[in-house]
Amino acid sequence: SQTIHQWPATLVQPVGSPLSLECTVEGTSNPNLYWYRQAAGRGLQLLFYSVGIGQISSEVPQNLSASRPQDRQFILSSKKLLLSDSGFYLCAWSTQGAYNEQFFGPGTRLTVL
Amino acid sequence: AQSVTQPDIHITVSEGASLELRCNYSYGATPYLFWYVQSPGQGLQLLLKYFSGDTLVQGIKGFEAEFKRSQSSFNLRKPSVHWSDAAEYFCAVGAPGGTSYGKLTFGQGTILTVHP
């Protein structure tokens, strides 16, 4: 069966510090991968998606970047965090060429102080 | 581009009462439709999905949803709510076709509170 992991589970970082959040998927190959941010009362905002190694598409301009160094690994990064980067970050995967059904990881709670 | 509206931000029901959460979508053709549930501090869990065929779909935890093309709606229902159903519920729409890259558009969510 497939599983998706995210770490860390929680993170408190000062403004201006770097960020690296990691997501890995097990039990599937060549998945589509997604990063979402969830702010209180604002639903889910798609930040990045990837259809293959090294292929990253950004949905919104922001202070963040994403990379996919391996087939089942998706990393969210920032060089300098802003207060507005605080939120709950969710990684998800779906099967390529299928019916869009996405499976979510447990999320990372990021607080920028 | 598709969009999703969940008109109710917060709904409160008594345990044992029936439940209906509303979802309206905007899309030029028949989309793929989903309902997810999220407990506080957790990821999203898929409750049910509609791709084609029978417009009444059954999901996990006793939930069902009905696709109504004429109303562009995909409302979630449960005949008898349990206290453990308290959570936030998200409706999502996806566009069929490879160029969508599996992306989903989510509604803003409906928070469900269950009173004993």
pLDDT tens digits, one per residue of B8-27:
999 999 999 999 999 999 98
Q: What is the DSSP string of A18-76?
A: -EEEEEEEES-SS-EEEEEEE-TTS-EEEEEEEEETTEEEESS-SS-EEEEEETTEEEE
B114: helix, coil or strand? strand
Neighboring chain B residues of A32 at a CB cutoff of 8 Å: 101-102
How many A-B residue pairs are in contact by the CB < 8 A criterion?
64
The 10 Å CB-count burial string (b at 16+, else e) for A31-41 is bbbbbbbbeee
Of the residues B106, B110, B111, the best mutation for testing chain A's interface (the one with the most A CB atoms within 10 Å of its CB) is B106
Each residue's pLDDT, cut to its tens digit, for chain A (113 residues) gives: 889 999 999 999 999 999 999 999 999 999 999 999 998 767 899 999 999 999 999 888 788 999 999 999 999 999 999 999 999 999 999 988 656 689 999 999 999 99
What is the pLDDT, as a whole number, of residue A39?
83
CA dihedral B61→B11→A86→A48, nearest 10 degrees, is 60
pLDDT tens digits, one per residue of B40-95:
889 999 999 998 888 999 999 999 999 999 999 999 999 999 999 999 999 999 88
Cross-chain residue pair A90–B43, CB shorter than 8 Å:
yes
Chain A residues whose C-beta sits inside 8 Å of any chain B C-beta: 32, 34, 41-44, 46, 49, 51, 57, 88, 90, 92, 94-107, 109
Tokens read off for B92: 């999502």
**Helix, strand, coil percentages in chain B from 3-state DSSP, rounded to 5:** 10, 50, 40
What is the pLDDT, as a whole number, of residue A66?
97
Count of beta carbons in the 10 Å neighbourhood of residue B10: 11
Count of the separate structural domains present in chain B: 1
What is the pLDDT, as a whole number, of residue B30?
80
Q: Which domain holds residue B68?
A: 3-115
What CATH number does the domain containing B10 carry? 2.60.40.10
| Residue A49, CA atoms < 13 Å, CB-side half-sphere | 20
Model confidence at B99, in pLDDT bands (50, 70, 90)? low
